[in-house]
Amino acid sequence: MPVIVNLDVMLARRKVRSKALAEAIGITESNLSLLKSGKVKGVRFSTLAAICRYLECEPGDILAYEISDDDLRLDDSE
């Protein structure tokens, strides 16, 4: 189960358009759209920090996780 991205919820709460957020934090709208849909491989901390600063929220407001044993790595050294 991948990490759940609730960015669209926060955008709605803050009444901020995707375009405005993308321009403010310096990523393209297409990348922001991919992020909202959870289709990205990862998010930089700097991007996350910028989003949280702009929307005045916490990372936990944007990202959620449902426990799933499928996410356990086979590499036990971690």
Partner 1 sequence: MVYYHNKFSSNRKKTLSDSYILPPRKAFICRMAGVVFLLVATIWGGATVSQSIMPGWSLACSDSGACHPDVDPGALLPDAERASVSSDPAARARFAAYAARPRVRAGLAGLILFDEVFLIFLFVAVGLTLRRLGGAGGPVLARALPWLKRGALSAVLWAIVQPLTDSLRAMLLFPGTPSGASWYIALDLTVAGPAMLLAIAAYATAWALEAGIRAERDLATFV
Chain contacts with partner 1 (rule: CB under 8 A): 14, 16, 20, 23-27, 31-32, 34-35, 40-44, 46-47, 49-50, 53-54, 56
Structure-token pair, residue 30: 């297409």
For partner 1, which is the closer residue by CB, 37 or 65?
A: 37
Q: Give the CA count within 13 Å in the CB-facing half-sphere of 32.
A: 19
For partner 1, which is the closer residue by CB, 6 or 40?
A: 40
Question: Would you put residue 61 in left (φ > 0), alpha (ψ -120 to 50) or beta?
Answer: alpha
For partner 1, which is the closer residue by CB, 12 or 49?
A: 49
